[in-house]
Structure 1
Amino acid sequence: MSINRNENGGFPNDGTTRHIGEDEAAPLLGNATVATRAKGAPFTACVFNLMNAIMGSGILGLAFAMANTGIVGFCILLLLVCSLAGFSIHLLLKLCDQTGINSYEDLGEKALRKPGKILVGLTILTQNIGAMSSYLFILKSELPATISSFLSPGSMVSAWYEDGRLLLILVTVCVVLPLALLPRIGFLSYTSSLSFFFMLYFMVVVIVKKFTIPCPLLQNRTLGDDLFQVSNCSASECTPKAFVISSKSAYAIPTMAFSFLCHTAILPIYCELDRPTKKRMQRVANTGLCLSFLIYLLSALFGYLTFYSRVDSELLLNYDTWAPQDVLVMTVRLTIQLTVMFTVPLIHFPARKALTTVLFDGRPFSWLVHVSVTVGILLVVVLMAIFIPDIRNVFGIVGSTTSTCLLFVFPGMFYLKISNRPLCSSEAVGAMILLVFGLIVGTLSFCVIIITWAQSS
Structure 2
Amino acid sequence: MLILIFCADLHHDTTYHDVLRSMCGKRAQQMAAASIMCTCFGINVTFLVIIGDQFDRLFSTFVGPDFCLTLWFNRNFVIMLIACILIWPICYFKRLDFLRYVSTVGIFAMIYVVFLNVYEYYALKVTPGIIKTEPSNAIEVAASLPVIFFAYQSHEIVLPIYSSMEKPRSKNFIKSSMASLTLLFAIYTLGGTYGYLTFGSRVIADIIQMYDARDPVVVAGIIALIIKMITTYPPLMFCGRGAFEGLYAEWRNLTAEAYIRGEKWRRIIITTLWNIAVLMLAVVTPNITIAIEMLGSLAACNVFVFPGMCMVSLAYRHLNGYYNNLKNDRRILRSLEGTGHWTFIWLTLLVYGLFIILFGCAMFATVFIQVGNDILNHKQEDPAHEAPMCGLHSTL
**Counterpart Cα distance in 1 of 2:157 and 2:127:** 43
- Give the 3 Å change call, closer, same or farther, for CA 244–176 of structure 1 in structure 2: farther
Counterpart pick for 2:50 among 107, 117, 138: 138
Alpha-carbon shift at residue 132 of structure 1 (Å): 0.9
TM-score under structure 1 length normalisation: 0.62
1:334 corresponding residue in structure 2:
223
Alpha-carbon shift at residue 267 of structure 1 (Å): 3.7
Q: Does 1:205 find its partner at 2:112?
A: no
Q: Does 1:438 find its partner at 2:360?
A: yes
**Residue type of the partner of 2:221?**
V
Q: Does 1:344 find its partner at 2:233?
A: yes
Counterpart pick for 1:424 among 329, 341, 345: 345
**Residue type of the partner of 2:279?**
V
1:93 corresponding residue in structure 2:
5
2:302 corresponding residue in structure 1:
406
- Give the 3 Å change call, closer, same or farther, for CA 168–288 of structure 1 in structure 2: farther
**Counterpart Cα distance in 2 of 1:188 and 1:379:** 22
- Give the 3 Å change call, closer, same or farther, for CA 268–448 of structure 1 in structure 2: same
**Residue type of the partner of 1:424?**
I
- Give the 3 Å change call, closer, same or farther, for CA 167–409 of structure 1 in structure 2: closer
1:363-382 Cα offsets, whole Å, 9 max, x none, are: 37745245554444334323
**Residue type of the partner of 2:240?**
A
**Residue type of the partner of 1:308?**
G
- Give the 3 Å change call, closer, same or farther, for CA 449–352 of structure 1 in structure 2: closer
1:221 corresponding residue in structure 2:
none
Residues 45, 282 of structure 2: 8 Å contact kept: yes
Residues 416, 428 of structure 1: 8 Å contact kept: yes
Alpha-carbon shift at residue 202 of structure 1 (Å): 0.6
Residues 111, 418 of structure 1: 8 Å contact kept: yes
Alignment of 1:242-253 (within 5 A): 242-245=134-137, 247-253=139-145
**Counterpart Cα distance in 1 of 2:45 and 2:236:** 11
**Residue type of the partner of 2:45?**
S
**Counterpart Cα distance in 2 of 1:268 and 1:187:** 21
- Give the 3 Å change call, closer, same or farther, for CA 147–179 of structure 1 in structure 2: farther
1:261 corresponding residue in structure 2:
153
1:198-256 Cα offsets, whole Å, 9 max, x none, are: 11111011011111223535xxxxxxxxxxxxxxx5xxx4x552444375443211111
1:415 corresponding residue in structure 2:
311
Q: Which moved more, 1:140-149 or 1:343-352?
A: 140-149
**Counterpart Cα distance in 2 of 1:318 and 1:416:** 46
Secondary structure at the counterpart of residue 211 of structure 1: helix
Alignment of 1:17-416 (within 5 A): 89-143=1-55, 145-146=57-58, 160=72, 164-165=76-77, 168-171=80-83, 173-175=85-87, 177-178=89-90, 181=93, 183=95, 189-214=100-125, 216-217=127-128, 237=130, 241-245=133-137, 247-270=139-162, 273=164, 275=166, 277-279=168-170, 285-319=177-211, 323=212, 325-361=214-250, 363=256, 366=260, 368=264, 369-370=266-267, 372-386=269-283, 388=284, 390=286, 395=291, 398-416=294-312
1:64 corresponding residue in structure 2:
none
**Counterpart Cα distance in 2 of 1:260 and 1:305:** 23
**Residue type of the partner of 2:168?**
T
Count of paired positions: 343
Alpha-carbon shift at residue 449 of structure 1 (Å): 4.4
Residues 147, 293 of structure 2: 8 Å contact kept: no
Cα RMSD over matched residues? Answer: 3.8
- Give the 3 Å change call, closer, same or farther, for CA 147–252 of structure 1 in structure 2: same
**Residue type of the partner of 2:303?**
L
Residues 304, 356 of structure 2: 8 Å contact kept: yes
Secondary structure at the counterpart of residue 181 of structure 1: coil
**Residue type of the partner of 2:157?**
A
**Residue type of the partner of 2:42?**
G
Alpha-carbon shift at residue 433 of structure 1 (Å): 4.7
Q: Which moved more, 1:254-263 or 1:112-121?
A: 112-121
**Counterpart Cα distance in 1 of 2:60 and 2:377:** 37
- Give the 3 Å change call, closer, same or farther, for CA 140–191 of structure 1 in structure 2: same
- Give the 3 Å change call, closer, same or farther, for CA 324–101 of structure 1 in structure 2: closer
- Give the 3 Å change call, closer, same or farther, for CA 378–299 of structure 1 in structure 2: same
TM-score under structure 2 length normalisation: 0.71
**Counterpart Cα distance in 1 of 2:377 and 2:281:** 25
Alpha-carbon shift at residue 360 of structure 1 (Å): 1.9
1:407-437 Cα offsets, whole Å, 9 max, x none, are: 1111111232146445724765654453343
**Counterpart Cα distance in 1 of 2:173 and 2:272:** 31
Secondary structure at the counterpart of residue 345 of structure 2: coil
- Give the 3 Å change call, closer, same or farther, for CA 314–175 of structure 1 in structure 2: closer
**Residue type of the partner of 2:205?**
S
Residues 250, 448 of structure 1: 8 Å contact kept: no
Structure that is richer in helix per residue: 2
1:105-147 Cα offsets, whole Å, 9 max, x none, are: 3333334433222222222212221221121132234336537
**Counterpart Cα distance in 2 of 1:163 and 1:207:** 28
